[in-house]
Structure formats: C-alpha cells, structure tokens
C-alpha cells in the first residue's frame, strides 16, 4: 500500500446527545456540560473540513451517552468496515446504531463474531494494525479481529496497553508513517519497535491522543509543551479544546471514524 496511513478523505462523526454529561469515566473530575462538549465537537468538525475531508454527521442518540465517540463501535478502512463488540455494557448497542450507515457506505462490512474489542484500542499504521489488549478489548476479541483484518488484507499484531489506561490509543497516535507520538509509559513497553518515537512531556499524558489528518495534527489545546514539541519538529499543529470530553476520558481520535474512500 503506498498511501500514507494518515491520508483520509472521509469521516463519520455523531453529534453529542444531552446525555453526554453521563458519559463513562474512570475517575470523577466533574461532569462535562452538554454545551461545552457541543462546542468542542463543532470545532472538531470544522477542523476536519479544513483538513480536506468529507464529513458525514450522524444524529445524536440520547439513549447512548458515549455514542459521540464513534471510533469505538466500528473500524473502517478503504477495503471495508468491521462492526466491533464494545467492552462496556452501556455501549454494546451503539453497534446496531452505526451499522446501517456503514452498510450503506461500504461494500464489505464484517461482524466481530466473538469477544470484545473497542476501536480506541486499534492503531492503524501503514504496515499493520496494532490491537491493544485492555479492559475493553480481550484476547478473544483481538483474535477474532485479526481474522477479520486478514479478510480485508490487513496485517495485524496484538499488543499490551499499560495497566489502568482506558484504550491503547489513549496513550499514542500516529504522526506519520515513520513516527509515533506516545506516552513514556507506553513507549517503554517496547511495542513501537522501529518507529521513531516522540515522547509526551511529563504531566501532559492525555495529549498522546492526538490525530494526524492529511497535512495537520490535531492536538488538545490544554497541552502547550506537546504543541511546542510538535511545532518545533515541523508538524502543522491545530490545537483544539478537549477539556470537556477529557472529563469523560476521551480525546481527539475518539470522535471520528476515518478512511480514504476511492469513491469520493
Ligand atoms: C468511554 O469510557 O467509553 C468513553 N467515556 C470514552 C471513550 C473514548 N474513546 C476512545 O478513546 N476511542
């Protein structure tokens, strides 16, 4: 495959519901406000359009507080989509909600037959798809996902997520085909092998969930040292507010499904 893994022309997002204030979180740092999440989401959609992608906006789902985080119930690639089985009980049925859209947009849509896997645990690089085991993604789900990925012609590997970290991608993101942005705790586990690694400055760990889209890197605006590091390294940084979604353990990758469609 010659296309860079960060080249996208299509994304799907879902508007936040008012129930987003009840989103899942590991530790209570206060609830986000609906208005605050909505403003962060609106700015994200605008930044995505500026980055050159076509945005499909799905309607809010009041019954599912975390459904704004469309990255978790599915995976999408140029070659097809995979409907996952989220590891949090309150999120399982988000899959049925997104399935019709994916069936409309993709010729090939596979179902994860067993186990549990969240899209937040999946990092797609040019060479392979990394699947992090976590409290949301178990070994059965990871193995089933590897079989689905093989059907789509994608190589994959199963790796570990640091203890206590929600998702694999909570702690890392792809900056380009050779470079990963990672927390020190994840990088130290050695999972990134030959990649050039840029380590998040101590105290800014949530900044690791950044998002490279075409020529820009979206980064949480609460993390000035990470922004400076990426800027000095020559990346085109677009800071975006993530303060409210951060209260429910989310970052920038969580709010979209991204792929390069040959039909656009
Ligand atoms: C959850 O716990 O499922 C949500 N509150 C946050 C999901 C974040 N998603 C992601 O990292 N892909």
Q: How confident is the model at residue 2 (pLDDT cuts 50, 70, 90)?
A: confident
User: Is residue 231 marked as binding?
Assistant: no
Which pLDDT band holds residue 4 (cuts at 50, 70, 90)? very high
Q: Over 80: is that where the pLDDT of 1 sits?
A: no
| Contacts (Cβ under 8 Å, ≥6 apart) of 126 | 1, 4, 5, 177
- The average pLDDT across 1-30 equals 95
Given a cut of 90, whether residue 149 has pLDDT beyond it is: yes
Q: How confident is the model at residue 158 (pLDDT cuts 50, 70, 90)?
A: very high
- Write out the two tokens for 188: 């130290």
pLDDT for residue 62 is more than 80: yes
CA 151/CA 161 separation, integer angstroms: 25
Distance (angstroms) between ligand 1 centre and the Cα of 170 equals 9
Residue list, ligand 1 pocket, CB within 6 Å: 23-25, 66, 69, 71-72, 88, 91, 120, 167, 169-170, 248-250, 253-254
Whether 78 maps to a domain, the answer reads yes
pLDDT tens sequence across 67-81:
999 999 999 999 999
Domain residue limits at 71: 10-259
Question: Does residue 180 come out as left (phi exceeding 0), alpha (psi in the -120 to 50 range) or beta?
Answer: beta
CA atoms within 13 A on the CB side of 65: 18
Split at pLDDT 50, 70, 90, the class of 264 is: confident
- Tens digits of per-residue pLDDT, 80-119? 999 999 999 999 999 999 999 999 999 999 999 999 999 9
Residue 258 has a pLDDT of 98
* 136-146: pLDDT as tens digits: 999 999 999 99
CATH number at residue 71: 3.75.10.10
pLDDT reading at 199 higher than 90:
yes
In a domain, 214, yes or no: yes
* Number of continuous H segments (helices) and E segments (strands) in the chain: 6, 15
Q: Is residue 136 part of a domain?
A: yes
Whether 34 maps to a domain, the answer reads: yes
The answer to whether residue 156 is domain-embedded is yes
Number of folded domains that form the chain: 1
User: What's the CA-to-centroid distance between 69 and ligand 1, angstroms?
Assistant: 6
Instruction: Return the pLDDT at 53.
Output: 98
Task: Give one word for 259, left, alpha or beta, with left for phi > 0 and alpha for psi -120 to 50.
Answer: beta
User: Is 153 within 8 Å of 79 (Cβ atoms)?
Assistant: yes
Q: How far apart (Å, rounded) are the C-alpha atoms in residues 113 and 45?
A: 32
- Percent pLDDT > 70 in the chain is 100
Q: Is 72 annotated as a binding residue?
A: yes
Dihedral through CA 30, CA 183, CA 14, CA 117, nearest 10?
-100
Outline where DSSP puts E strands in 4-88.
10-14, 54-58, 74-77, 80-83
Please state, rounded to an integer, the average pLDDT across all residues of the chain. Answer: 97
Residue 198 clears pLDDT 60, i.e. is over it: yes
83: in domain: yes
Q: Is 6 a catalytic residue?
A: no
Instruction: Look at residue 244 and tell me if it is in a domain.
Output: yes
Write the CA distances from 172 to 146, 193, 198, 263, integer angstroms: 20, 14, 10, 30
For residue 171, the SS3 value is coil
Which one, of 198, 199, 214, 210, lies nearest residue 259 by Cα? 214
Q: For residue 2, is it within any domain?
A: no
CA dihedral of residues 49, 12, 154, 163 (deg, nearest 10) = 100
Question: Among this protein's residues, is 167 annotated catalytic?
Answer: yes
């Amino acid at each position: 495959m010659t296309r860079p893994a960060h080249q996208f022309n299509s994304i799907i997002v879902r508007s936040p519901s008012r129930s987003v204030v009840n989103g899942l979180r590991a530790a209570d740092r206060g609830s986000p406000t609906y208005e605050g999440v909505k403003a962060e989401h609106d700015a994200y959609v605008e930044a995505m359009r500026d980055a050159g992608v076509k945005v499909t906006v799905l309607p809010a789902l009041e019954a599912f507080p975390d459904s704004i985080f469309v990255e978790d119930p599915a995976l999408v690639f140029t070659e097809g989509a995979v409907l996952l089985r989220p590891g949090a009980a309150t999120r399982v049925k988000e899959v049925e909600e997104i399935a019709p859209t994916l069936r409309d947009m993709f010729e090939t849509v596979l179902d994860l037959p067993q186990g549990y896997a969240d899209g937040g645990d999946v990092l797609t690089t040019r060479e392979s798809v990394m699947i992090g085991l976590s409290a949301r993604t178990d070994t059965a789900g990871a193995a089933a996902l590897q079989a689905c990925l093989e059907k789509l012609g994608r190589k994959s590997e199963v790796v570990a997520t640091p203890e206590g970290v929600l998702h694999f991608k909570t702690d890392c993101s792809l900056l380009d085909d050779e470079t990963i942005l990672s927390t020190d705790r994840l990088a130290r586990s050695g999972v990134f092998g030959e990649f050039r690694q840029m380590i998040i400055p101590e105290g800014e760990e949530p900044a690791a969930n950044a998002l490279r889209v075409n020529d820009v890197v979206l980064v949480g605006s609460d993390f000035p040292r990470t922004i400076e590091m990426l800027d000095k390294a020559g990346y085109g940084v677009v800071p975006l507010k993530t303060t409210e979604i951060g209260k429910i353990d989310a970052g920038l990758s969580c709010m979209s499904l991204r792929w390069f469609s040959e039909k656009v």
